[in-house]
Amino acid sequence: MKTFSQAGLAKAFAQRLRQRREELGMHKQDMADRVGVSLTTIQKYENGQMPKGEYAVRLADTLACSLDWLLVGKGAADGSGQSCGEARLVMVPMVEARLSAGTGSFETGGDVLRHYAFRWDFLRRKGNPSQMVLLRVSGDSMQPRIMHNDVVLIDQAQRNPVPGRIYAVGVEDMVYLKVVNAMPGRLILTSFNPDYAPIEADAGEQLADLVRVIGRAVWVGRELD
């Protein structure tokens, strides 16, 4: 049977865990996938079950917070000695699939190649940090706005197209980076490069089977020679 102090420690841990997850806009299943445990285990953690060993470390890494703060409330969440907030960093994965800004490319899966650090406050202004991935562009159809080999930050939480915005879009088995617009009964995917004709799709019941909006492009980075 737990003593009062043990029960209080577990309750406070559960509150911090839930608070941090919600701050990051992360769903329980997302956290479970990143930590490598089941959804049921995450639910147990948020009900006061303390994690053991490497899973405590994985939780802290996933939530970009100090392990001391997560487990016992010591210090600030980011381990900086400051209040948790503006300077916090989030590691965003670079995935293997290459977006096509030209003729299209096959999806190769979501294997993570590496992670890159972004400020949490920057990502939060752009959308949902927990749903963001980095993808490298292949092709010239979005030039001069987006160049071949640029890295684009995609927020997969933003899947409802806003006219004139740039999205990663799957068309059958191809992936494109396009401006999404709509006409009555039709979805229009256009490029900045006038050499590329628009892609049009009927906005009927079969649209979801043919065209999949993967997420909105919210930032682009470029390597200089």
Give the number of residues written for the chain: 225
Q: Which of 54-58, 137-141, 192-196 has the highest mean pLDDT?
A: 192-196
Average pLDDT, the chain: 80
- Percent of the chain topping pLDDT 90: 24
Predicted local confidence at residue 22, as pLDDT: 85
The pLDDT confidence band at residue 56, using thresholds 50, 70 and 90, is: confident
| 187 vs 76: which has the higher pLDDT | 187
- DSSP single-letter state for residue 82: S
pLDDT (0 to 100) of residue 214: 87
Give the DSSP H or E segment for 32.
helix 28-35
Question: Quick check: 201 and 171 in contact, CB under 8 A?
Answer: yes
b/e map 5-23, b = 16+ CB within 10 Å: eeeebbeebbebbeebbeb
Q: What is the pLDDT of residue 4?
A: 43
pLDDT tens digits, residue range 169-223?
887 767 889 998 877 777 888 999 999 998 887 766 555 567 788 899 999 998 7
